[in-house]
Structure 1
Amino acid sequence: MLRPFICLFVAALLLFQTSCSKKNEHNGAPPARPVHVSEAINHDVPVYIDAIGTLTAELSVDIQSQVTGKIISANFTEGQFVKKGDLLFEIDPNPYQAILNQSLALLSQNQADLDIAKWIVGKDKKLFETKAMSTQDYAKLMVAYDKAVGMVEADKATIWQNKINIEYCKITSPIDGITGKRLVDPGNIITANSGPTLVNIKTIDPLFVDFTISERNLLLLKDSMKKATLDVIVSASGFDSNYNNQIKHYEGTLQFVNNSIDPATGTIGLRAVIPNKDRELWPGQFINITLIYYIQKNALLVPNQAVTMGLKGEFVYVIKNGKAVLIWVKTGLKEGDYTIIDSVVGDEKIKPGDQLVTVGQMGLTPNTPVNIVGKDTFDLPSIEKILTENAKD
C-alpha cells in the first residue's frame, strides 16, 4: 500500500528540483546575444589631404612681332604642337632688305673714304715728323681719318641691325608647346613690339597644378617634407567615346610652397608638377588632388561599424572567450570601410585577427555572452580606391 505513495513522492520531489534548477538558471548568466563580427587587421594606409585645383602650363608665351610690317603667311595650324624654332609667321622682308642694301652701299662709300683718309695720314705723317707740316694741318687730317673710321663702324652697326630685322621677319616658336587660336590673319600690318598678340603657345609636358590647403595642415606638411619628396596624385574625369564617365589618375610631386599664408582665407598656396607625356591633361583643366603626407605602415584597422560613441568617447566590443569585452579606443583617420586605431585606453589590447562586433552592439553590456550569427567582410583601403572615391565626390 505504501509503494504507490512513495513513487508519487519521489516524482514530485524530482519535479520540484527541476523547477528550482530552471529558475536558478534563469536568474543566473544572461542568454547569449546574437551579433555579427569582423576582424581587426594590419594594413599600410596613406595619410593624405584632398584638395581641388586647376592645371596650368609651365610656360605660356604670347607671340608678338619685333618688327613692323605686313604678315605674308601663317605657317601653323591652330592647336598644333610646335617645337622650338618652328616657323609660325612671316613678315614681308622686302622693306628691310632694301634698307640693308642701302646700308651696304653706304658702307662701301664710307670704306672708300676711310681708305683715302688713311692713305693721306700715312703719306703726310713723315712731313709732320720733319716739321714740314704744321700741327694744325696734321690734326685736321687725323680728325678726318677718325670721322671716316666712325662712319664705317656706324654703317656696320646699321647693317647688323638690318640683318636682325630681316631675321625677325620670320617669327618662330620660342618653346615646345601647343598653339592656341590665331589672333591675327595674314595680310594685316602689325607694329613692332606694341602690336597685338599673334598667337599664344603653352607648354604641355609637364604641367603645374596650383592648389591651397588650410594653414592648420602646414606643420604636418613641413614635417613630412623634411623626410621625403611628397607625392601628389591628380584625378581627372571625363567621357570616353561611348559616353561612359572615366576617372584616370596621374602621379606627380610637390614642388613649391608659397612664402606666406593668405590672411583673408587662412590658406597657403602649393604647386605640384605632373608629367604629361601622353598629353591627356590640358592647361586650365579642373582636377581633384590628393597630397600624400606619408604612408602609415602596419596601421591597426577596425571596421567603421565596430566603433561606437559613448559618454567617455569611442569604444569597440571585442569577442574574448565567448563574451563581448568593451575596450575604449582613440581613433585616427577613416579610410574607406575602416578606421585607424591610434591607441586603446586601459589594459585590454586589440590585435590583428581579433573579432569585433559590427552588428548588435545596442543589446550588449560589458562581458555579455554572445552568439556569432554572421561574419561581415569589408573592402581593404587602397590608394586607388581612395582616389576613385574622391574623384567621384
Structure 2
Amino acid sequence: MTSIRNRRLVALSLALTVALAACKGGEAPPQGGPGQVTVVTLKAEPVTLTRELVGRATGYQVAEVRPQVSGIVAKRLFTEGALVTQGQPLYQLDDAAYRAQANSARAQLARAEASATAARLAARRSAELVKVKAISMQDDENAQAAWKQAEADVGAARAALDAANVTLGYARITAPIAGRIGKSSVTQGALVSAGQAEPLATIHQLDPIYIDVTQSSAELLQLRRELDAGRLQGNGEQPVDILLEDGTPFAHKGTLEFSEVSVDPGTGSYGLRVRVDNPGQVLMPGMFVRAVVGSGVRQDGLLVPMQGIARDARGNTSAMVVDGEGKVALRQVAVSRTVGDKWLVEDGLAAGDKVIVEGLQKIGPGMPVQATEKGAEAATPAAPAAKQ
C-alpha cells in the first residue's frame, strides 16, 4: 500500500510541474494563414435562354393511297418499305370493264363525228340552194340547225370518251407524293371499292420531317412579360437543336415553322412545329425526340458555376464571395435556370463579384482568404474589389 501511494504522489508532482511550466513559459500555438480558395469573377455576357421540349416526329407530307374506282387488284407494283416517286404506279386493277366503256365511248364519238360531217355538207348545199330559191328558207334553217346539233353531239361524245379514259386511268393507282411507302393492306385478288375507309398503303415524306412539340402557356406568359420589360430580346431565326431518344444530338438543326394560335384547354399547353432536314431518314414518324428551342437572349446575363451555389433545406440559395477586404461574405442569391453547367443569376450578385467555387469546406463568413482565379496558371492573390 505504501509503494502504491508513493507512486501516485510522484505522478501528481510531475503533472503539477508540467502545468506550471506551461503557465509560465509556454505560448499558444500559432494560428494558420488565410485560407486558399478558388474563385470565378462574374462578368455580364449575352446568354441565350433555351427550353427543352418533348416532341414527336411526323411526316412532312402524309398521303393515304385509296382507290377511286372499284375492282379486283390484279397486281401490286411496288416493294413495301421502299422509296417511291410521285406518279409511280402502285397497284393495277382489273380494267377490262373500264376499257370496254372507253372503247364504246370512242365509237360513239366516231359516229357523232360522221353525223356532224354529213350535217355540215348538207348545210353547205342548203346555203347554195336557198340563194337561187331552190329550197325554202325554212328548209335551209333546218339544215343549219341540224349541223350545229351534230357538232354539239360530237362535243358530248368527246367528253364521254374523256370521262371513260379518266375512269380507265384510275384502274392504275399511282403515288400521289414522293416518299417511303409502308406495307400494303391488300394483296393480289382482293376486291377494293371507291372511297373505302381503309387505305391500301400510306406514304410518308421523311426529308424534311416535322417535330411537333408542346409548351406550357404559363411559360409563354412569362416569356412575354420578360420581353415587354426589356430583360429579354427575341431570338429571331435561331436554329433548334434536336436530341434523339438516347440523348445524342441529331446531326441537323431544325427551324421553328409556326406555333398554334390557341391553347389546349385539357393540358394548358400550345403546339410548336419544327422543320428538320432528314437526309439519312434517321428520324421516323412517331419517334419521340427532344427539341431545344431558344426563347430569347439576355444581353447582360450572369452565369455562376453550379458548385458556387448552395441550397439549404428550405430551398433558399446562397453563394460565398470574396469582398473588397479579402474576406468571405455570404450572399443570398436567386437563380432561375441552368445553362449548361451553370446557374443563371436573377438577383443577389453583380458583374465583378468573385464567387468561391473551390475550398468552401474550410471557410466561413468573415474569414480572410487568399483567392486564386479558376484556370489561372499560378496561385496568386486576387486583387481587392473596388468598394461601392
Pick aligned residue for 2:335 from 321, 325, 331 = 331
Pick aligned residue for 2:67 from 44, 65, 68 = 65
Pick aligned residue for 1:148 from 131, 147, 150 = 150
Distance 1:300 1:194, change over 3 A: closer
Q: As a proportion of its length, which structure holds more strand?
A: 1
Counterparts of 1:89-168 in structure 2 under 5 Å? 89-129=91-131, 131-168=133-170
Preserved contact between residue 305 and residue 358 of structure 1 (Cα < 8 Å): no
**How far has the Cα of 1:142 moved from its partner?**
3.2
Per the alignment, residue 201 of structure 2 pairs with 199
- Distance in 1 (alpha carbons) for counterparts of 2:75 and 2:369: 86
Preserved contact between residue 40 and residue 302 of structure 1 (Cα < 8 Å): no
Q: SS at the partner of 2:254?
A: strand
**How far has the Cα of 1:261 moved from its partner?**
1.7
- Distance in 2 (alpha carbons) for counterparts of 1:375 and 1:351: 12
Deviations 1:12-61 (A, max 9, x none): xxx98977x85xx99xxx97686754434657654111221111011111
Per the alignment, residue 390 of structure 1 pairs with none
When structure 1 is superposed on structure 2, of 263-272 and 97-106 the one drifting more is 97-106
Q: SS at the partner of 2:240?
A: strand
Per the alignment, residue 369 of structure 1 pairs with 368
Preserved contact between residue 319 and residue 357 of structure 1 (Cα < 8 Å): no
**How far has the Cα of 1:117 moved from its partner?**
1.3
Per the alignment, residue 384 of structure 2 pairs with none
Q: SS at the partner of 1:237?
A: coil
- Distance in 2 (alpha carbons) for counterparts of 1:256 and 1:133: 76
- Distance in 2 (alpha carbons) for counterparts of 1:333 and 1:167: 61
AA of the residue aligned to 2:207: D
The percent identity for this pair of structures is 25
- Distance in 1 (alpha carbons) for counterparts of 2:123 and 2:223: 77
Q: TM-score, normalised by structure 2?
A: 0.75
- Distance in 2 (alpha carbons) for counterparts of 1:266 and 1:307: 33
Q: SS at the partner of 1:282?
A: coil
Which consecutive residues of structure 2, in runs of 5 or more, have no partner in the other structure?
Answer: 1-21, 376-388
- Distance in 1 (alpha carbons) for counterparts of 2:52 and 2:315: 30
**How far has the Cα of 1:375 moved from its partner?**
10
Q: SS at the partner of 2:194?
A: coil
Pick aligned residue for 1:315 from 311, 318, 321 = 318
Aligned residues: 345
AA of the residue aligned to 1:98: A
Per the alignment, residue 381 of structure 1 pairs with none
Which consecutive residues of structure 1, in runs of 5 or more, have no partner in the other structure?
Answer: 1-14, 239-245, 378-393
**How far has the Cα of 1:84 moved from its partner?**
1.2
**How far has the Cα of 1:252 moved from its partner?**
0.3
Preserved contact between residue 33 and residue 364 of structure 1 (Cα < 8 Å): no
- Distance in 1 (alpha carbons) for counterparts of 2:315 and 2:245: 43
AA of the residue aligned to 2:338: K
Pick aligned residue for 2:345 from 315, 319, 341 = 341
* RMSD of equivalent CA atoms: 3.6
Per the alignment, residue 359 of structure 1 pairs with 360
When structure 1 is superposed on structure 2, of 349-358 and 320-329 the one drifting more is 349-358
Distance 1:124 1:183, change over 3 A: same
Preserved contact between residue 233 and residue 296 of structure 2 (Cα < 8 Å): no
Q: SS at the partner of 1:98?
A: helix
- Distance in 1 (alpha carbons) for counterparts of 2:354 and 2:364: 21
Q: SS at the partner of 2:55?
A: strand
Q: SS at the partner of 2:262?
A: strand
Per the alignment, residue 74 of structure 1 pairs with 76
Distance 1:86 1:254, change over 3 A: same
Preserved contact between residue 35 and residue 360 of structure 1 (Cα < 8 Å): no
Preserved contact between residue 209 and residue 274 of structure 1 (Cα < 8 Å): yes
**How far has the Cα of 1:268 moved from its partner?**
1.4
Per the alignment, residue 189 of structure 1 pairs with 191
